């Protein structure tokens, strides 16, 4: 029994240390200075990795929208999606931009990544881009067997029947499962609404959208055939198109903001930071996220 307590204390200490590190590192999430890729009349906002926080991206959008020298924005998406709240916050900010926005899909622009593309005026995808995955998922880790083996129990005093719904110590009751399903369905319908609004110019009906909004992933070419994207093309093609609709003569020059790297990102790298943030938030969040 003493050995089990020591193991639990060690795991708890590691978990707490990671949480403190993430909280500390979040203070460095502000965007940094302007840099020029090849000059400047267009701006590029990059969405990379799992979307777990909206602040950095929203600050970039606000700065570019208020900059009179920026005539249009290219939204470069390399993301499988992420938590519903941050995705919706970024989407809302994009819809309030008074400049043209062109989406450029990289290797992956799925689920929440595609959700954000629907806020733009025109969507480019590579033929092999992984996109689609229109849907929502809510995960609940369940560890009753493990807890029993290591001798951990939970006693609950609650104010209502469903206050401890989703506990890792036990399985769902039928009533709990129904409630979570209803919540998931509601957030799913919000996604369908966004796709419908974003693809009206392609005359897609809600019924047509729901036929492919079952979580399936699509290639860029398949998405083009199903009218989920406007054109097949590279990042360079999207920049050229954005420059054209912005009235820029010659080759457009791109303004970007180099985000400041958080402490955790410097230690683990951005991909590992996103995965760790995802693990820590898995128990409590709805996700517009592809399982890749």
- Return the active site residues: 111, 163
Coil vs helix vs strand at 61:
helix
Instruction: Compute the half-sphere exposure of residue 179: CA atoms within 13 Å on the CB side of its CA.
Output: 11
Q: Are 238 and 103 in contact (CB under 8 A)?
A: yes
The distance between the two most distant Cα atoms of the chain, rounded to a whole number of Å, is 75
Between strands 137-138 and 231-232, the pairing is unpaired
Question: Cα–Cα distance between 179 and 113 in angstroms, integer?
Answer: 27
- Burial of 12 by CB count in 10 Å (0-12 exposed, 13-18 middle, 19+ buried)? exposed
Question: Cα–Cα distance between 119 and 236 in angstroms, integer?
Answer: 20
Q: Are 58 and 96 in contact (CB under 8 A)?
A: no
């Amino acid at each position: 029994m003493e050995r089990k307590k020591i193991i639990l204390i060690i795991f708890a200490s590691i978990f707490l240390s990671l949480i403190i590190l993430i909280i500390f590192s979040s203070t460095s999430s502000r965007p940094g200075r302007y840099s020029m890729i090849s000059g400047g009349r267009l701006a590029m906002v990059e969405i990379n990795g799992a979307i777990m926080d909206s602040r950095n991206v929203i600050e970039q959008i606000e700065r570019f929208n208020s900059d009179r020298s920026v005539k249009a924005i290219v939204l470069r998406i390399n993301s499988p999606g992420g938590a519903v709240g941050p995705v919706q916050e970024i989407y809302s900010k994009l819809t309030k931009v008074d400049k043209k926005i062109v989406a450029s899909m990289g290797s992956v622009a799925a689920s929440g990544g595609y959700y954000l593309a629907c806020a733009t005026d025109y969507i480019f995808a590579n033929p092999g881009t992984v996109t689609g995955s229109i849907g929502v998922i809510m995960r609940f880790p369940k560890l009753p067997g493990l807890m029993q083996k290591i001798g951990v129990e939970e006693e609950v005093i609650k104010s209502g029947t469903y206050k401890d719904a989703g506990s890792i110590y036990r399985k769902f009751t039928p009533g709990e499962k129904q409630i979570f399903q209803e919540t998931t369905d509601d957030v799913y319908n919000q996604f369908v609404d966004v796709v419908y609004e974003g693809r009206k110019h392609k005359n897609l009906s809600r019924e047509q959208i729901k036929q492919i909004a079952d979580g399936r992933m699509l290639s860029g070419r398949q998405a083009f055939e199903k009218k989920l994207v406007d054109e097949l093309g590279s990042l360079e093609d999207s920049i050229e198109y954005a420059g054209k609709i912005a009235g820029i003569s010659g080759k457009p020059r791109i303004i970007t903001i180099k985000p400041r790297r958080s402490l955790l990102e410097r230690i683990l790298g951005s991909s590992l930071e996103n995965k760790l943030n995802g693990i820590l938030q898995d128990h409590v969040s709805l996700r517009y996220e592809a399982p890749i």
